[in-house]
Structures are given as structure tokens and as C-alpha cells.
Amino acid sequence: MPNPTVVGFSGNFTRPSKTRGFVEHVVRDIAVRNNLSASTYDIEDVGASLGSAKWARDLDQQGRDVLDKVVNADVLVVGSPTYKGSYTGLFKHFFDLLDPSALRGKPVLLLATGGGERHALIVEHQLRPLFGFFEALALPTGVYATDKDFADGVLVSEAIRKRAAQAVEEAGYALLRAGGQRVAAE
């Protein structure tokens, strides 16, 4: 059996990015605590074919590779910067290319970043319904961080770090449960 993986996907399309850094931070924590292989991607990693793709098959090889990593991850960490109260359009478009059953039962940890507190409900009102559509297992603790929670692009808020650690622990429980089900099925 291959080494289980945790994959991060960030809806940012600029680098450096607080959102991608936040996703990478959480992905690393999950990987270290659960002995998983880890990788993180963003919109730029998907490549130029994303904007014109109507179907997953329309992505170039680079884009299909990222999409395959997301779909085949044992646990997924997704995050988006907040634009006008929601996730980015290209983030949504990327997930629009997935088959509706592609993420069924997959543990997904939800993250978002924004300029201020007024966007804090993006996790509950935008991300959770999106992954509910896919019948993914959206973990109970989602995390939203504002600009003031970062210094030079690095997460520095102790309160956000604690909340992220709680979500990482939940990811570990979900992986244990999935592992037990996988063993029972074999």
C-alpha cells in the first residue's frame, strides 16, 4: 500500500501568498503528526489551461497532475483568500472540473484568509457548502485568519495556531478512522 498523502490546495494566484503559506503550515503539521507524504499546490501550479478548461480533460498535463493529486489525497487541506465575501473564482472553477463523486468521504480541512474579521464566515457559508456538495468529510474545525495574524507572510497568531492545531488533530482522527475502514475492507 502506498504511503498515505496529505495534499494542500490554495486558491491564491499570486506568490508569495499568506493563504498558501497557511495551507502549507497545516499540511506540514498533518504530515509530521501522521507520517504522511505531503504536497501543496495553488492556482499557478495548475497552469494557464485552467481558465479555458470546460472539463478536466481540457487541462494540460500540468493541470491534470495537480487535479489527480487533489482527488487521490488521503486528506485534503483547502484554503482560499477572501474576495468580496467568497473564495476566488479560479479556486471554484478548479473544483467545478471535478466529478461530483470525486471527493466523497474524503477528509477536508477548510481554511481561509482575509483582510479583516468581516469575512470570517467564509468557511461556514462558502467553503463548507461547496465541499458538502461533493459529499466530502469537511472537518468540524475550519480556520479563518486575517492579515493581522501574519507577519511577513508567516502565521504568528497564537490563537489561530491553536485553532489550526485542533483542526490538525481532527484530521488525524479522520485518517485513523479511514485507515481502520480500509483495513476492514481488505
List the domains of the chain with CATH numbers: 5-185 (3.40.50.360)
pTM: 0.93
Mean pLDDT, rounded, of the chain:
92
What's the confidence (pLDDT) of residue 85?
86
In angstroms, how far apart are the furthest CA atoms of the chain?
Answer: 48
Orientation of helix 18-34 relative to helix 158-185, angle to 10°? 50
The helix/strand/coil state of 65 is helix
Residue 139 CB contacts under 8 Å (≥ 6 apart), including other chains:
107, 108, 109, 110, 167, 170, 171, 174
Torsion of CA 64, 45, 11, 94, to 10 degrees: -20
Length, in residues, of the chain = 186
pLDDT tens figures, 95-107 = 999 999 999 999 9
Asked if pLDDT for residue 62 goes beyond 70, the answer is: yes
pLDDT tens figures, 33-55 = 999 999 999 999 999 999 999 99
pLDDT tens figures, 138-161 = 999 999 999 999 998 889 999 999
pLDDT tens figures, 128-144 = 999 999 999 999 999 99
Mean pLDDT of all residues in 175-184: 60
DSSP state of 100: T
What's the confidence (pLDDT) of residue 177?
80
> What are the helix (H) ranges across 51-123?
61-72, 89-96, 122
Asked if pLDDT for residue 183 goes beyond 80, the answer is: no
